[in-house]
Structure 1
Amino acid sequence: MMVTAATGASKEACMCKGFGSTLSGAALQWFVSLPNKSISSFADLVNAFNQQFASSRRTLKQPSDLYRIVQEIGESIKDYVTRFNTEKVAIRGCDTSIAINAFRQGLDKDSDLYKELTMHPCERFEEVQQRTTATLRLEEDILSRKGTITFDRTSRKIPTEKKEEKTKPYSRPNIRKVAEKLQQGEDSKYLPRLAEYRFNTGMEGLLKALRELGDQVRWPKPPTKDRPNNDLDRSK
């Protein structure tokens, strides 16, 4: 627009008409809906635009806004430093003393870094960053040590945790020894009861599974019966 030969009122008209080509969205819709003959100069157009979209203007952050940044409960120093530095960079010409004081005030009052900065004040923000880096190294070292196995200095052995005693699975008795004991007339309580096998199915399902095995399994011969069938314990 500046290099055109238009002068006077024609230049103002060209600038007002060309302004619409730089807009989009809601701003372009506002420009198109302007009443006829409501704009007499480019200055009027600028004033109307600023008045319409004043609420969309980004407010410049002030150094005092750093006092709003506070370390939250459970937040690590590393995350707090990251948030603080992000806000500090966005402020142009931030005062060093304000930044140092705001950083210290935002720390957890029970933290070692807050006590260090309070007892030994810093004149430059670079010193604060150096002390913060040292604190972060100590914090990361403590966290890493919690995840490693500690050794007993006296025995030099790794402490082992007591394992929970697990129930031993049932071991099947030797069928030959069982037959010999039965032949000798000893008590038949040597045989385990059916409930001790902990089957997940009933008697019908168990018999069906045994029949399906067929000749795949070599079944041992049952011991000789010295008792009638009516006296046998069918739970074994």
Structure 2
Amino acid sequence: MTTGEYEFFKEAKKWAALEKQQTTASRPKKLPEWFDELPHGSITCFSDFKIAFLRHFASSRKYQKTDHCLFVLKQGSAEPLRSYIKHFNQVAQGVPSATSEILMSVFSHELTDGEFFKDLIRNPVRNFDEMLEKVASYINVEEVQAA
């Protein structure tokens, strides 16, 4: 282990010791607890430490969602447009790579066969913002009819 790697290692251990995070069954152990429980001699170089560290704390990492997350969204047979668009937008906000074209395609593909769907086929929109405007007008109609 080089001097720089050793210094990084010492700093990582100090930094983790200062953490006030409570350990629970669903979270990995804090660094000092985890490190102290490693078998003696299991860390012979910085590479060993790095591999063990990443392997242990990988579950804490936040993964970025992809466009594929959107394809599981479907409007339920009795689900109002307001509920569907709300859920769709919540998921879509977590997918930074989703383009307007992808959003339009996925949103319209998973709609139930109702008046809004038929109107999208007859009068296609140019972008997702335009689709949201059209959705808003149909939501108003749905809610008036339901009242």
TM-score normalized by the length of structure 1: 0.51
Bigger Rg, which one: 1
Counterpart pick for 1:58 among 19, 39, 62? 62
Given candidates 92, 114, 119, the residue that maps to 2:117 is 114
What is the percentage of aligned positions where both structures have the same residue?
26
- Counterpart among 83, 88, 91 of residue 87 in structure 1: 91
Deviation of residue 137 (structure 1)?
1.0
1:15 corresponds in structure 2 to: 11
**Residue identity matched to 2:67:** P
User: Could you say which structure has the greater relative contact order, defined with CA pairs below 8 angstroms and 6 or more residues apart?
Assistant: 2
Structure 1 CA distance for aligned equivalents of residues 47 and 22 of structure 2: 20
SS of residue paired to 2:90: helix
Change (3 A) 1:135 1:8: closer
Deviates more, 1:45-54 or 1:34-43: 34-43
CA distance, structure 2, for counterparts of residue 62 and residue 9 of structure 1 = 35
The residue that corresponds to 1:30 in the other structure is 34
Runs of 4+ in 1 over 6 A off after TM superposition: none
User: Normalising by structure 2, what TM-score?
Assistant: 0.79
Structure 1 residues 143 and 33: CA distance shift in structure 2, 3 A? same
Change (3 A) 1:19 1:31: farther
Count of residue pairs the alignment pairs up: 137
Distance (whole Å) between structure 2 residues aligned to residue 95 and residue 116 of structure 1: 22
Cα distance per residue 1:11-32 (max 9 Å; x no partner): 2442243253247523224222
Contact 2:5 2:46 in 1 (8 A): no
Gaps of 5+ in 2: none
Give the aligned residue type for 1:137.
N
Shift of 1:99: 0.7
Asked whether the equivalents of residues 16 and 42 of structure 1 are also in contact (C-alpha less than 8 Å), the reply is: no
Identify which range, 125-134 or 36-45, moves more after superposition.
36-45
Closer/same/farther in 2, CA of residues 36 and 12 from structure 1, 3 Å limit: farther
Q: Deviations over 1:164-210 (max 9, x none)?
A: xxxxxxxxxxxxxxxxxxxxxxxxxxxxxxxxxxxxxxxxxxxxxxx
- How far residue 43 of structure 1 moved from its aligned partner, in angstroms, is 4.5
* 1:124 alignment counterpart: 127
Q: Structure 1: which 5+ runs fail to align?
A: 1-6, 145-236
State the partner residue of 1:139: 142
Q: Aligned partners of 1:15 and 1:24: how far apart in 2?
A: 21
Considering only aligned residues, what root-mean-square deviation do their CA atoms show, in Å?
2.3
